[in-house]
Structure 1
Amino acid sequence: MDLRPLDDTTFAAPMIDPSDMPALAEAGVTTVICNRPDAEVPPSHRTAAMQSAAEAAGMTYVFNPIAGMALTVDAVEEQADAIDGADGKVVAYCASGTRSTILWALAQAGRRSADDILAATAAAGYPLDGLRNQIEQLEARA
């Protein structure tokens, strides 16, 4: 597993495996968020299998798929709600971790400065300077 910290409790990750769930739970993860649509993965990694594995390990599983880069405000709010509702660490994953990181960054708008958000994403290996305008627009609405 390649968990990349975005803050003290939230991590982005490239695709994880159902067999990773017990180790995630042992590491204090309480919520797993999938940002990858089922159409992108084999049956062994689709929502039903991943949710079953996460729940068997005692974690909450949230399916918030983003097809391509078709982000919506609803998807950002769902991501924020899942992170805010967790009582432990959160791992959000997709193919490379980029979609999950973008959702986190947009969900942080108004909670942290754009500079802090972009520094965190870059430190995690996801330089997202192109999101600055969107983060600042969401920050202004918060």
Structure 2
Amino acid sequence: MVDRFLQNLDNVTIIDATGHILGRLASVVAKRLLNGEKIIIVNAEKAIISGKREAVFERYKQKRDIGSHRGPFFPRMPHLIVKRTVRGMLPYKQEKGKKALKNLRVYIGVPKELEGRKFEEIPEAKREVRYYVTLEELSRWLGAKF
């Protein structure tokens, strides 16, 4: 099944998440989505979360363990963690937030349709950090299989 979003890439911004700090990336993307842009994020598993490894793992483990069998459910896969982070920065229960979230696609790796294209980087989201964890490491630790 081909995603209709990938068929018309004329006015779509493609962002490579490699080495970007997750929260900073999400805040810039959320603002752009509210302004009506269509955005694709690739290499979601290579985004980073700043902080010491044990602290980051503990924080995300607590988020995952909060829910019961009825929810709330916290994602384990890297692309869903990125999407959930962006969603948290949008008014997703209102109409404009729902519309904005529909204009976002997040992928693990680079889809075949996007290979060879120019990817945008967000300089505000790229910072030198001493301690960090990639989303790939975090997802595998949480139990994701991809």
Larger Rg: 2
- Larger relative contact order (C-alpha < 8 A, sep ≥ 6)? 2
What TM-score comes out, normalization by structure 1 length?
A: 0.28
What TM-score comes out, normalization by structure 2 length?
A: 0.28
